[in-house]
Structure 1
């Protein structure tokens, strides 16, 4: 186990290095000029050039990247061009909100998705199965901002059960989590249904039934531990996706997370923030997958980490 974790951590470091290099190239090739963004439209060419020199933007690409990499190895993500604040400070201020929304979204998609998938698999071919799969199709197809606006209109404006937006209490968390969870629940329900149907056909499940075990014990003691393995892998991916790809939901509900910070930085070509958020999100994805790999043998002891 220790050797496996060390090997994966080394792979993680190499992956993050590659991501930092590719992201830095893409930002270097962007036609927008950060120095001009900082100086303003009315600034003179001399002022813009001075800012470019102060930030090191006049250096060749490889020098800029090596300087950034040297700072990164010391834990320094750089300083925001426009906000004049350390990127690590800005990310740390937004991180709790993103982690909270990520946890709420994963809880919602697991609760809805697994329940829908299990019922659909147990009633395969029935009207209930068809209705649940249509619902899951709507969930994976509907744009997030549409779901978010509909939930706001019904439950916040019309019924008044939840606040229209904001952050700080449990009631603020419900609607954004359900919005994100509805999309994930569609994928989880389809995966759960397919996996469970396949497991229920296996010989060991038939043997468990033949021994006289109740339907619930056969399902949760014998079938579910194997059927849920693909779901664990999906959760590992979702950890990273929810850390970086929820800017639409954050904007609809006024949620002060990392996604909103990244979107603001992209609009202003604030390269240090873009780089910082990208690396944090990539790290979350890689570590989420590692966590999923470590949990899988605990669910199914037959799986060995190599």
Structure 2
């Protein structure tokens, strides 16, 4: 186990290094000039060049990237061009809100997706099965900003069950979590249905039924633990999906997380913040996948880590 974890951590560091290199290179060739954003439209060419020199943006790419990596090794994400604040502090202040939203979204998608998939598998070939699969397809296909706006209009504006936006209470968390969770629920329901149908055909399920076990015991005690394994592997991947969709959802609901911070930074070409949020998101994806791989053998001892 320790050898596996050590090997995966080394691989994770290489992945993060590649992400940082690609992101830094894309931002380097970006047509937009962050110095112009800082200096303003009325700044003289001399002022622009002075700011560029102060930020080190007049250096070659390899020098800029090497200096950034040296800062990362020391735990320094850099300093925001516009906010004049350490990027690490900005991310640390916003990260708890994003993690709270991510946990809420995972809970929503698991409850909705697993329930829909289980019911569809048990009602295979019926109208219920078809209706649930159509609903999952709609959930997967619908853009998140459209889902978010619809939920806001129905449950916040028309029914006044939840606040329109903001942060701080459970009621603020419900709609953005549901918006993110609907997409994942669609994937989970389809995967859960397929996995459950396959497990129900296995010999050990027929043996359990032949022993006279109750239907609920067969389903929840034997079939479900085996059918849920592919879903666990997807949770780590979902963290990446959340990190990409969280920018839109946080903007729609006014949620003060790193997604909103990243969106503001993109609009202002604040490169240190963009780099910091990208690396934190990539780190979350890598750790999520590693955690999913480590948990799976405890659920199914037949799976061995190699």
d(CA) in 2 for partners of 1:13, 1:145: 33
- Once the 2 structures are TM-superposed, how far is the Cα of residue 175 of structure 1 from its aligned partner? 0.7
Match of residue 190 from structure 2: 190
User: How many equivalent pairs are there?
Assistant: 306
Match of residue 145 from structure 2: 145
- Once the 2 structures are TM-superposed, how far is the Cα of residue 206 of structure 1 from its aligned partner? 1.0
d(CA) in 1 for partners of 2:102, 2:140: 18
Match of residue 256 from structure 1: 256
SS in 2 for 1:43: coil
Name the TM-score, length of structure 1 as normaliser. Answer: 0.98
Residues 49-74 of structure 1: CA distance to partner in whole angstroms, max 9, x if unpaired?
A: 00000000000000000000000000
Mapped pair 1:108 → 2:112:
no
d(CA) in 2 for partners of 1:142, 1:13: 35
8 Å contact kept, 1:79–1:272 = yes
- Unmatched tracts of structure 2, length 5 or more: none
Larger deviation, residues 75-84 vs 179-188: 179-188
8 Å contact kept, 2:117–2:193 = yes
Moved over 4 A (4+): none
Residues 10-55 of structure 1: CA distance to partner in whole angstroms, max 9, x if unpaired?
A: 1111110111111111110101111111101111111010000000
SS in 1 for 2:162: coil
8 Å contact kept, 2:144–2:245 = no
8 Å contact kept, 1:244–1:258 = no
Residues 249-289 of structure 1: CA distance to partner in whole angstroms, max 9, x if unpaired?
A: 11111101111111111111111001000000000000000
SS in 2 for 1:246: helix
Report matched runs for 1:229-244 at 5 Å.
229-244=229-244
- Unmatched tracts of structure 1, length 5 or more: none
Match of residue 164 from structure 1: 164
d(CA) in 1 for partners of 2:270, 2:19: 18
d(CA) in 1 for partners of 2:107, 2:115: 12
- Once the 2 structures are TM-superposed, how far is the Cα of residue 244 of structure 1 from its aligned partner? 4.3
